[in-house]
Structure 1
């Protein structure tokens, strides 16, 4: 039977970046087009999946964390321009902080699982608790829910229908009950707009396990896209 999975990690990342761009354009320069933010819900689950994959395959966790930390610091002012229309907006922090917390959560969860005794499990367990709580307390984008989504992809990485089912159920629960936003009536129920995130799963399930073209310039460009597009949109938004 031919392998029907054809998306590389690079292609998934490109899709996520495009969906994120639409969402941020809706939030700044083209308000009123609600379909753009609905499509934008696809971005974070792909980023969470790729981070869980990156954690699994990285040879240097410290370097990975440093890249995310640098991204978070560089992106904060552009994000504040988009989120608050100002250069300093302490009520909402950019999503790179959430990704960094998710990376730490994956590390702590693994250490907790492999520690042989209860006293040795305690430090990573406390680290995992901090990774879950701090994003919510610091008001990072997606907050605690984002870290939970990252852990979901880390814990369901085995593949197969059971993993797919767990991802679908887990992502629905997080989107419906942990994230608050626009709701849509569906019969007697109200469904959160965040549930459009489930549209990311078919794309993720088509991941073929390949990174795609390895190129430092492409890697740096993917990282730079986040603060760069926020800066452009932020300037346009503040100039209105």
Structure 2
């Protein structure tokens, strides 16, 4: 019997909690590395929810516009959080990454539904374009982030989806993503582990997801969009006064 005990609302709350721990580690509680290990699980859960949201949304345009609006709103708090300045062109917020991932799977879905040369060409062009835009635009998680959304879309309801996702997450987060390494001593030898590899653990709550909405509360539906810029701004204020 499959254990599916986490609904959409709970998954969203978990992702926000993981993100908060990571950002607290980066600002107000440095040195507690376990917080960033746990925090690595946040983005894949958000990416999974973008893929899920795309499948179930009745209005793609409204969904994409919502992401765009909140990405714009979040940019100043994000800049303050990362650089203590209003403008910081060298790193863009994660909602832009999720938006690019959403656009990529929209065109992949068009091709899946109607396999014409035109749709195939558009899917390839948009996938490459969003990958390039995330890299050159230096969005949070970059091209890896876009492809994480694509991974969850392509593996949805596939046989052995967990195995495909495990392999994909390993490639994206350990092989392709350049991140911080930590030394760990085991049996008298020191090994280095990539922090981003902890993102793979996000597959545990994702595979406990039961596909249900939960309460369906509008507060939770928009909660992540508001929480993202708000918590960064609050942490910036706390950190700047420490």
TM-score range, shorter chain: over 0.9
Deviations 1:194-231 (A, max 9, x none): 01011111111111110101122222233211111011
Measure, in 2, the Cα distance between the counterparts of 1:165 and 1:188: 29
Q: For residue 181 of structure 1, what is the aligned residue in structure 2?
A: 179
Q: How far off is 1:188 after superposition?
A: 8.8
Q: For residue 76 of structure 2, what is the aligned residue in structure 1?
A: 77
Q: CA RMSD in A?
A: 1.7
> Gapped runs of 5+ residues in structure 1?
none
**Which residue, 192, 210, 216 being the options, matches 2:218?**
216
> SS in structure 1 opposite 2:31?
coil
1:23-38 superposed matches below 5 A:
23-38=22-37
Measure, in 2, the Cα distance between the counterparts of 1:58 and 1:233: 32
Q: How far off is 1:190 after superposition?
A: 4.2
Q: Is the 8 A contact 1:51 1:150 kept in 2?
A: yes
Range moving further from structure 2, 40-49 or 181-190: 181-190
Give TM-score scaled by structure 2 length.
Answer: 0.92
Q: How far off is 1:120 after superposition?
A: 4.2
Measure, in 2, the Cα distance between the counterparts of 1:166 and 1:61: 26
Q: For residue 48 of structure 1, what is the aligned residue in structure 2?
A: 47
Q: Is the 8 A contact 2:107 2:119 kept in 1?
A: no
Q: For residue 124 of structure 1, what is the aligned residue in structure 2?
A: 123
1:1-240 superposed matches below 5 A:
1=1, 3-158=2-157, 160=159, 162-184=160-182, 190-240=192-242
> Gapped runs of 5+ residues in structure 2?
none
Measure, in 2, the Cα distance between the counterparts of 1:119 and 1:65: 23
Q: How far off is 1:124 after superposition?
A: 3.1
Q: Is the 8 A contact 1:85 1:237 kept in 2?
A: no
Deviations 1:164-188 (A, max 9, x none): 0010111011111221122245779
Q: Is the 8 A contact 1:81 1:235 kept in 2?
A: no
How many residues matched?
238
Range moving further from structure 2, 126-135 or 74-83: 126-135
Range moving further from structure 2, 190-199 or 165-174: 190-199
Q: How far off is 1:37 after superposition?
A: 0.7
> SS in structure 2 opposite 1:54?
helix
Measure, in 2, the Cα distance between the counterparts of 1:180 and 1:146: 13
